[in-house]
């Protein structure tokens, strides 16, 4: 898995955990909505400045956005 996809999925998880739409995260981070979409899909390769902007908006540590993805528990249920 690419680092872009790992990052993107972690952003999506953190966003959904807050119950936010991409539009909402866009507003909070100051980044364009379509760009957020691209990040979450792993098709963008953001700079660390953008990473920080997203982390601040989501109120999470940058490190959390690079955390290894856990296999969903439901996979084993």
Tell me if 17 contacts DNA by CB under 7 A. Answer: no
| CA distances from residue 27 to 3, 33, 37, 59, 74 in whole angstroms, order as listed | 25, 8, 13, 14, 32
Q: Please identify, among the stretches 29-37, 55-63, 67-75, the one whose residues bind DNA according to the rule CB under 7 A.
A: 29-37
The whole-angstrom separation of Cα 8 and Cα 37 is: 9
Report which DSSP code applies to 16: H
Q: Please identify, among the stretches 15-23, 59-67, 68-76, the one whose residues bind DNA according to the rule CB under 7 A.
A: 15-23
Tell me if 4 contacts a copy of itself by CB under 8 A. Answer: yes
Tell me if 21 contacts DNA by CB under 7 A. Answer: yes
Dig out the tokens for 40 from the structure: 């979450």
Binding site for DNA (CB under 7 A): 21-23, 30-35, 37-38, 40-41, 43-47, 49-50
């Amino acid at each position: 898995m690419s680092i872009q996809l790992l990052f993107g999925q972690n952003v999506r998880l953190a966003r959904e955990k807050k119950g936010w739409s991409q539009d909402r995260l866009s507003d909070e981070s100051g980044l364009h909505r379509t760009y957020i979409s691209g990040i979450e899909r792993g098709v963008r390769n953001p700079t660390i400045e953008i990473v920080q902007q997203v982390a601040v908006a989501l109120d999470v540590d940058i490190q959390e956005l690079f955390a290894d993805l856990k296999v969903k528990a439901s996979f084993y249920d």
